[in-house]
Amino acid sequence: MYLIVGLGNPGLEYEETRHNLGFRVVDELARRLGIAALKSKCHSFIAEAKLGEHKVILAQPQTFMNSSGPAVRGLLDWFKLKPNHLILVYDDVDLEVGQLRLREKGAAGGHHGVESVIASLETSNFARVRIGIGRENLMDDVTDYVLQKIPPAQRESLAEAVIAAADAIESIVSDGLSAAMNRFNK
């Protein structure tokens, strides 16, 4: 069983922002699996489904990005899963717009949502699917940038990245993380 968590912020005002790409990937997976609605559990919207031979839980924490960790911890505890059964998907300013990168562990890279998850789990050993949003020459505080609506010039490449991220997650579940990394890390 896998817990697939897309990071984002709840609320209509954040729906089309760069920081909600994790939510969009979960929405894409739900669409593919024929899930019409997510239910509320452990401060998250979730759905359970079968992806190939594996049971998966799709989740969108509703605690706001920077406090995602307790919701993720609660879901892992509820479903009696270890962190190595977590696939976390989120935006990354250190990757070019639309670039996809899969990792099996590592630091948060300044992403406060990931920092919260690592702190709550007390480990950084879980799979990540990162979607590049670029940083447009920003050096320090990227808060305003990640919370901006996706500009028209980036919509197509980020929509394609959401589809590719959903494909990558399906590959992780069916073929394993190493095979998925070989296929999607270009």
How many helices (H) does the chain have, and how many strands (E)? 6, 7
Tokens describing residue 10: 């709840």
Residues tagged active-site: 19
Q: Give whole-number Cα distances, 53 to 24, 45, 119, 128, 169, in Å.
A: 24, 23, 31, 21, 14
Half-sphere exposure at residue 158, Cβ-oriented, CA atoms within 13 angstroms: 25
C-alpha radius of gyration, the chain, whole number: 15
**Which stretch of DSSP H or E encloses residue 75?**
helix 68-78
Order of strands across the sheet with 86-92? 39-41, 44-51, 54-61, 2-6, 86-92, 127-132, 100-103
137: left (phi over 0), alpha (psi -120 to 50) or beta: left
